[in-house]
Amino acid sequence: MVLDGLGKSLRGVLDRINSSAAIDENLIKDVCKELQRALLQADVNVQLVLKLTNNVKIRSLNEKPAAGKSAKQHVTRIIYEELVNLLKNGEPIALKPQTIMLVGLYGQGKTTSAGKLANYFIKKGFSVGLIGADVYRPAALDQLKQLGAKVGAEVYGEPGQKDAVKIVKDGLEKFADKKIRIIDTSGRHALEDDLIEEIIGISKVAHAEERILVLDSQVGQQAGPQADAFNKAVDVTGVILTKMDGTAKGGGALSAVATTNARIVFLGVGEHIRDLEAFDADRFISRLLGMGDLASLVEIAREEMADEEEDMEAIARNMMTGRFTLNDMYAQMKAVKKMGALKKLVGLLPGMNKMEDKIDLDASQARLDQYKVIMDSMTMQEKDEPNLIKGKRIERIARGAGVTTADVKELLKQYNNSKKMMGAVGKDRKMRKKMQKQFGAMDPEALKEFQNSGGSE
């Protein structure tokens, strides 16, 4: 999870509040000290930290809880609101046809972010054209083409051409029919005069609705001055903070940029092409505090599993008839895998942060991957009729998957446990109605089978 250390510290503060016998001035002072320690360790600017904790103290001691809310809930809400106010500084990027220009220094992740942005908009249903205007880094265009091929975006570039403004002009004409046009510009080791001149020239030709600065979050509080400098050059409209997974300075970069005129629009949170998160201060703080982000989870599921809707419907119908096979289990695992790493998904569920220390998520992920390999060694008949898998079949499957027979038996045990759970769902009348509403009326023959079986095989 992004800023995992800060998240654990902040959740510790909330635990301190919830476990206290009463909310008094001494507790508020202690809580504010713990907040200061947590934020300073995350590289947040000291002046911002003092301002935030002072607001928490004043509001906690003077504001009355809302009707039906306890004093503990009231203080927790104040901390949440003040953290959101620290980072909230603008609206998310609009989902509409537009031209987007990326700027930034060398090594900040501009080209990778261009590919991730293309993937983001393609998932939203937009056609995307990528324009390679980095004329200084030889491999930049090749990298952009590789990323474009991966996400399904067309790429325009002019190998050997040193006039970046011409490339952009030609590229915009080439992609006149594209809904989203993303321009990847050159970088420098510092904000030099020739870089400023070049990006100003591109900006005049591009008339980009969004001029986005790409910043490596490892620069910490120096992200603020960089954002200001680029803002003066091309009137930056937004910032993408990269490498937000696994940097102790992420808090500093977030808070520094949030206090400039530029708004944070995306966070780069991993190496995968899908690891770009639209920044929303409310959702971000909710996840840090262990309150989850179900809206993002639903959004990820909708986008990543849209092409597997028929598979999901089939699973739902099987559940309603009490039938659940290894094919269904395989489809579920494939869907979860497509949505991303388990650790990322767990962070979106309310209260699950407390379970991270008790659950080895990496081991669970590896076990799911192994289950998939084992099922790939089964025949379609065996996956459709798991009761056939015994004796010699178990040995054959184990050899084919390169695992032990104990591993195959463990999978079958897990399948039987899942089948019992699905059977319970199938017998739940309210759940059946919800599923029928979601996926449509059940096939008459399937309904007859379900009624005759009493909700089980």
Integer angstrom CA distances of residue 324 from 56, 370, 424, 425: 52, 20, 11, 11
132 and 263, same domain (yes or no): yes
Model pLDDT, residue 30: 93
40 and 161, same domain (yes or no): no
How large is the angle between the packed helices 71-87 and 25-41, nearest 10 degrees?
A: 30
Distance CA 281, CA 8 (A): 18
Model pLDDT, residue 345: 52
- Range in 89-93, 102-106, 124-128, 322-326 the model is least confident about: 322-326
In 10 A of CB 357, how many CB atoms?
8
Distance CA 407, CA 374 (A): 8
198 and 71, same domain (yes or no): no
Residue 339 lies in a domain: yes
194 and 276, same domain (yes or no): yes
Expressed in angstroms, the distance from the first to the final Cα of the chain is: 41
Residue 256, H or E segment = helix 250-258
State the CATH number of the domain containing residue 131: 3.40.50.300
List the one residue out of 184, 135, 132 whose CA is nearest residue 163. Answer: 135
Q: Which of residues 258 and 103 earns the better pLDDT score? A: 103
128 and 237, same domain (yes or no): yes
Q: Which of residues 306 and 422 earns the better pLDDT score? A: 422
Is 102 a residue whose pLDDT tops 90? Answer: yes
CA 49 to chain centre: 27
Is 372 a residue whose pLDDT tops 80? Answer: yes
Note the pLDDT tens digit of each residue in 386-412.
999 999 999 999 999 999 999 999 999
Which residue reads 């579920």 in tokens?
332
Residue 157 lies in a domain: yes
pLDDT band at 202 (very low <50, low <70, confident <90, very high): very high
Cβ atoms of 87 and 284 closer than 8 Å? yes
- Range in 75-79, 137-141, 445-449 the model is least confident about: 445-449
Residue 290 lies in a domain: no
Query: Into how many domains does the chain fold?
Result: 3
321 and 188, same domain (yes or no): no
Residue 405 lies in a domain: yes
Note the pLDDT tens digit of each residue in 137-152.
889 999 999 999 999 9
207 and 352, same domain (yes or no): no
Distance CA 212, CA 217 (A): 15
Q: Which range scores top for mean pLDDT: 72-81, 149-158, 210-219, 250-259?
A: 149-158
Residue 291 lies in a domain: no
209 and 313, same domain (yes or no): no
Phi and psi, residue 258, nearest 5°: -65, -20
Last residue of a domain, one of 219, 253, 285: 285
Is 220 a residue whose pLDDT tops 90? Answer: no
Model pLDDT, residue 438: 44
State the CATH number of the domain containing residue 348: 1.10.260.30
Q: Residue 252 belongs to what domain range?
A: 98-285
State the CATH number of the domain containing residue 56: 1.20.120.140
Mean pLDDT over 118-126 rounds to: 94
Mean pLDDT over 71-96 rounds to: 89
pLDDT band at 455 (very low <50, low <70, confident <90, very high): very low
317 and 428, same domain (yes or no): yes
Model pLDDT, residue 130: 98
Last residue of a domain, one of 87, 120, 146: 87
**For residue 393, what are its two tokens?**
């079949």
Model pLDDT, residue 7: 78
201 and 119, same domain (yes or no): yes
Q: Which range scores top for mean pLDDT: 184-193, 307-316, 337-346, 438-447?
A: 184-193
Which residue type is seen at 202? I
108 and 230, same domain (yes or no): yes
- Helix (H, G, I), strand (E, B), or coil: what is residue 127? coil
Residue 117 lies in a domain: yes
Is 136 a residue whose pLDDT tops 80? Answer: yes
**For residue 111, what are its two tokens?**
């080209």
- Range in 13-17, 21-25, 358-362 the model is least confident about: 358-362
In 10 A of CB 219, how many CB atoms?
20
Residue 34 lies in a domain: yes
Cβ atoms of 180 and 97 closer than 8 Å? yes
Model pLDDT, residue 442: 41
Is 351 a residue whose pLDDT tops 50? Answer: no
pLDDT band at 340 (very low <50, low <70, confident <90, very high): low
Is 375 a residue whose pLDDT tops 80? Answer: yes
Model pLDDT, residue 456: 40
Note the pLDDT tens digit of each residue in 22-32.
889 999 999 99
Residue 74 lies in a domain: yes
171 and 148, same domain (yes or no): yes
Last residue of a domain, one of 246, 262, 285: 285
- Range in 36-50, 163-177, 200-214, 340-354 the model is least confident about: 340-354
Q: What are 103's strand-pairing partners? A: 213
